[in-house]
Amino acid sequence: MASAPVAQMPMNPISLGCSDFTRDTDVTTQELLHLLDLASEMKRNPRRFATSLSGRYAALLFEKPSLRTRLTFELAMKQLGGDSVTSAGLIGEREPLKDIARNLDRWVHGIVARVFTHRTITELAQWSKVPVVNALCDKFHPCQALADVLTVREHFGYTDGLTLAFIGDGNNVAHSLLHTCVRLGMNFRLACPKNYEPDAELVAEARAMAPKAEIVITNDPYEAVDGAHAVYTDVWASMGQEAEAIERRAIFHAYQVNSELMAAAAKNAVFMHCLPAKRQQETTDDVMESPQSVVFDQAENRLHTQKALLLTLLQ
């Protein structure tokens, strides 16, 4: 699919008002726009930034398995002239988390953590003197949302007035997309089975942040997708929910994104998925492989948005 042109201008990193990126709203709307502009510039002109973080190091802590997150953060540091070290396993299992944080901040310039609970992220940020980045937790996935809205902007040339429909569990990805999309002028609709709605407090936060945005939470996937410009789905059982996988497959069956559901979206709609995908479950193989699918653009853009984030936090 041909991408609409995005204005090209040289960008320089600015210092963010936050010292950590624990959730999407840690950055202001203006800072969010700057990160997206900077990511676009870094994608166009990677050599310009090749030594920007020379001599800087990040610790990557992974409680959960990872392909895209781990490799893109490792590559981001290397492509900016820095480097990273990785540790896998539960954080705080062998020693108190506050001790881990204060060890790491003596050695590295930033901490990137992919964890089971948001509390782990907030405690790392509380005890660490260096920036902490949330690379996924049970409540938010802010780095994914950055890549997603960059992908939308690349394909449409703008975000204001577009509608994103999320089909499936009201999970961490949905929360981050909600808080990121509405601040960029997008409408957000979510369709899920009863009792799988997103966190009500986070929905209320989004309504307060963007009172003009259309925010719809429904149990009808066709209501959500009707005329939408982006149709997004995620696995029905996230990591840590494996015991619920069979039960969830039955509950979410009617929420599969297939060609019939995609036909209800706008003619130029794109299909999105944060990956990994369970093909023939939350979506079908023909949708994943269709010209509408931008899932691998999203995956690529994880690298570019994370480079922008690291540069602004660790410069």
Catalytic residues, which ones?
114, 141, 144, 234, 274, 302
Secondary structure (3-state) at 166 = strand
Q: Tokens 């990137």, residue? A: 112
Q: Supply the DSSP string of 16-58, one letter for each residue.
A: -S-S-BSSGGGS-HHHHHHHHHHHHHHHH-GGGGTTTTTT-EE
Q: Is there a contact between 192 and 221 (Cβ–Cβ < 8 Å)?
A: no
Amino acid 27 reads: V
Q: How far apart are CA 264 and CA 248, in angstroms?
A: 24
- Name the phi and psi angles at 282, rounded to 5: -70, -20
- Maximum separation of any 2 CA atoms in the chain, in Å: 54
Strands 270-273 and 163-167: unpaired
The Cα–Cα gap between 100 and 89 comes to 13
Q: What DSSP designation does 236 have?
A: S
> DSSP strand E in 196-261: where?
215-218, 230-233
* Residue 92 three-state SS: coil
DSSP code at position 257: B
Question: Nearest-CA neighbor of 145 among 23, 15, 4?
Answer: 23
